[in-house]
């Protein structure tokens, strides 16, 4: 069926990505420019991401709250770097009422309903939150304050891509307040590690942890920590950030506390977030030309059972038995007993949607007390005995999870290159892509120059970076460590 076919990665990577998103029923374009509709299958994956992260946040002492969608315009300008970073992409609410157009052609904005102060649709919530924290924090006994919110935010982007960059997106944003600098820095790193663990262990996407250069830092942060993943086309995707905000927002919003010595101090802050962009990382890391490939730990349905060629009493009975065994082990399973679709159609459909394991049950299988088990990641099929099937499937799901991570890690290793000359830098970037480890003289001028010349940016300075004397790949000036370059999304 032509309309179900996916553009191959080789032909057009960008088109391939869009095909997967749409044909695997993850998301669709909406009537609003730059905004997408997240469809049930895509949203179910996001819910799994949310569920696990939320659990991890709570295990580390964080609690959820909710702050307003609208931010008074004046708030945004209180932190100079912050406003500079976000001003260019803010949606602004100016009126609060519509009226019938006198000419009868529908409704128009009622000019008499102009807001006294315009409201910004939050691009991020630091300002409204710190304005609130001022009232909540009086003493060191109120600290630390460890709050997260799940929310939507709006950033009016010039150009959008499904999941990777949309005008509105879903995310979580943590905002914490601490009595000491050290504690805030520790919080920033705690979350960075939490993100890295989640992305690697649940999404099966290997990441490099690092710190951003001054140039790439979050607007208003003293330090931005990041996890960077490598996509199949050799481009990097920033997958989560954790910011040490110093006392910048505390000073801007006058958030002080009395320490144990009865002295006023400004509090130390962090903020951190991951967004529905993670969906993009998930899709681009594992999927193939047959569709989406999902890691078992995040798949809304881990196992699908397909009766071959159609459900009979005998097959239904065998399927029900397997279903209850699998569910007993906490494995999510769907029995696709739709009589109107043929097996081949179902196979293709579930492969498109990335269901990790498919069990086929036919008369011939049952005669031999076995079923056909197919794994999505390698597309291998094998016959397994009904006896002990649940254990075997559980094992298989673990194998798939591990295989996806290992495969992605191997790919990243192959696509990570150390280069020492400017010629090699350009050549590797152009011909091979991926991550490049190279020396850099530490100046923003050089960083910007390299970006102008090659489109590559410094993704991060990897943590625990090996210290190694060298010379900057562009300027030849001395450098004491390599940094991670790549073209990025």
The CB-of-271 to RNA minimum distance in angstroms stands at: 11
Please give the residues from 271 up to 290 whose contact with RNA meets the rule CB under 7 A: 275-277
Q: How many residues does the chain have?
A: 489
The CB-of-359 to RNA minimum distance in angstroms stands at: 9
474 is an interface residue for RNA by CB under 7 A: no
Rounded Cα gap, residues 192 and 209, in angstroms: 8
Q: Which stretch binds RNA (CB under 7 A): 133-141, 371-379, 391-399, 463-471?
A: 371-379
CB 146 within 8 A of CB 63: yes
Among 125, 160, 176, 285, binds RNA (CB under 7 A): 160
Among 82, 155, 286, 482, binds RNA (CB under 7 A): 155
Residue 20 or residue 473: which is nearer to RNA going by CB? 20
Among 157, 200, 233, 265, binds RNA (CB under 7 A): 157
Please give the residues from 410 up to 469 whose contact with RNA meets the rule CB under 7 A: 455
Residue 94 or residue 138: which is nearer to RNA going by CB? 94
Q: Which of 383, 340, 339, 327 lies closest to 358 in space, CA to CA?
A: 383
223 is an interface residue for RNA by CB under 7 A: no
Residue 135 or residue 367: which is nearer to RNA going by CB? 367
DSSP letter (8 states) at residue 353: H
243: which residues sit within 8 A by CB, 6+ positions away? 188, 217, 218, 220, 221, 223, 224, 225, 270, 271, 272
Pairing relationship of beta strands 114-121 and 92-95 according to DSSP bridges = antiparallel
Q: What ranges make up the beta strands (E) of 181-230? A: 208-211, 223-230
Cα dist from 88 to 161, 167, 350, 489, whole Å = 19, 13, 42, 19
334 is an interface residue for RNA by CB under 7 A: no
Please name the helix (run of DSSP H) or strand (run of DSSP E) that holds residue 375, with its range, or none: strand 370-375
Among 7, 29, 256, 481, binds RNA (CB under 7 A): 29
Binding flags for RNA, 61-100, as an x/- string (CB under 7 A):
---------------------------xx-----------
Residue the block writes with tokens 């970037």? 429
- Please, what is the end-to-end C-alpha distance for the chain in angstroms? 32
Q: On the CB side of 140, how many CA atoms lie within 13 Å of its CA? A: 11
Please give the residues from 93 up to 152 whose contact with RNA meets the rule CB under 7 A: none
**Conformation bin of residue 246: beta by default, left when phi > 0, alpha when psi is -120 to 50:** left
CB 125 within 8 A of CB 151: yes
Binding flags for RNA, 384-403, as an x/- string (CB under 7 A):
--------------------
Residue 144 or residue 210: which is nearer to RNA going by CB? 210
| Structure tokens given for 363 | 């008369």
Instruction: For CA atoms 67, 69, 72, 73, give the dihedral sign.
Output: positive
Among 56, 348, 392, 463, binds RNA (CB under 7 A): 348
Residue 143 or residue 308: which is nearer to RNA going by CB? 308
Q: Which stretch binds RNA (CB under 7 A): 45-53, 109-117, 196-204, 349-357?
A: 349-357
Residue 311 or residue 470: which is nearer to RNA going by CB? 311
Most distant CA pair in the chain, distance: 81
The CB-of-343 to RNA minimum distance in angstroms stands at: 5
Judged by the rule CB under 7 A, the positions of this chain that interact with RNA are 1-5, 14, 18, 29, 32-34, 88-89, 155, 157-162, 164-167, 169, 218, 238, 241, 275-277, 308-310, 342-345, 347-349, 351-352, 360-365, 372, 374, 379, 381, 455, 488-489
């Amino acid at each position: 069926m032509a309309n179900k076919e996916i553009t191959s990665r080789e032909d057009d990577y960008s088109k391939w990505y869009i095909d997967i998103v749409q044909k695997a029923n993850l998301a669709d374009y909406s009537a609003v420019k730059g905004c997408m509709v997240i469809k049930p299958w895509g949203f179910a994956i996001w819910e799994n991401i949310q569920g696990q992260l939320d659990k991890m946040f709570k295990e580390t002492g964080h609690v959820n709250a909710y702050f307003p969608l609208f931010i008074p315009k004046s708030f945004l300008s209180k932190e100079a770097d912050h406003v500079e970073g976000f001003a260019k992409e803010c949606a602004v609410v100016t009126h609060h009422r519509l009226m019938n157009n006198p000419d009868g052609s529908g409704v128009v904005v009622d000019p008499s309903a102009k807001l006294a102060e315009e409201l910004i649709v939050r691009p991020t919530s630091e300002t409204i939150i710190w304005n609130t924290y001022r009232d909540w924090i009086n003493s060191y006994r109120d600290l630390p304050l460890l709050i997260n919110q799940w929310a939507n935010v709006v950033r009016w982007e010039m150009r959008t891509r499904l999941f990777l960059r949309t005008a509105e997106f879903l995310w979580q944003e943590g905002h914490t307040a601490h009595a000491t600098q050290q504690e805030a820095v520790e919080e920033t790193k705690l979350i960075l590690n939490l993100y890295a663990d989640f992305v690697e262990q649940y999404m099966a996407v290997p990441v490099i942890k690092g710190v951003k250069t001054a140039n790439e830092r979050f607007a208003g942060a003293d330090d931005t920590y990041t996890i960077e993943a490598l996509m199949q086309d050799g481009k990097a995707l920033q997958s989560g950030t954790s910011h040490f905000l110093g006392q910048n927002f505390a000073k801007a919003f006058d958030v002080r506390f009395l320490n144990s010595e009865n002295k006023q101090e400004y509090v130390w802050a962090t903020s951190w977030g991951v967004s529905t962009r993670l969906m993009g990382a998930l899709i681009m890391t594992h999927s193939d030309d047959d569709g989406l490939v999902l890691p078992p730990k995040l798949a809304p349905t881990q196992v699908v059972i397909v009766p071959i060629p159609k459900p009979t009493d005998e097959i239904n009975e065998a399927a029900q038995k397997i279903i209850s065994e699998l569910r007993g082990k906490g494995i999510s399973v769907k029995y696709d007993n739709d009589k109107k679709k043929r097996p081949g159609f179902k196979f293709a459909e579930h492969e498109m949607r990335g269901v990790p394991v498919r069990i086929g049950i036919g008369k011939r299988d049952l005669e031999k007390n076995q079923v056909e088990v197919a794994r999505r990641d390698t597309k291998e099929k094998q016959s397994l005995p009904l006896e002990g099937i649940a254990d075997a499937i559980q094992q298989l799901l673990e194998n798939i999870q591990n295989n996806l991570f290992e495969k992605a890690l191997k790919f990243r290793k192959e696509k990570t290159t150390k280069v020492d000359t400017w010629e090699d830098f350009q050549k590797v970037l152009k011909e091979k892509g991926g991550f490049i480890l190279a020396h850099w003289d530490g100046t923003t001028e050089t960083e910007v120059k390299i970006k102008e010349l090659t489109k590559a940016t410094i993704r991060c300075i990897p943590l625990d970076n090996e210290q190694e004397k060298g010379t900057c790949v562009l300027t030849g000036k001395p450098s004491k460590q390599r940094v991670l370059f790549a073209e990025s999304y």
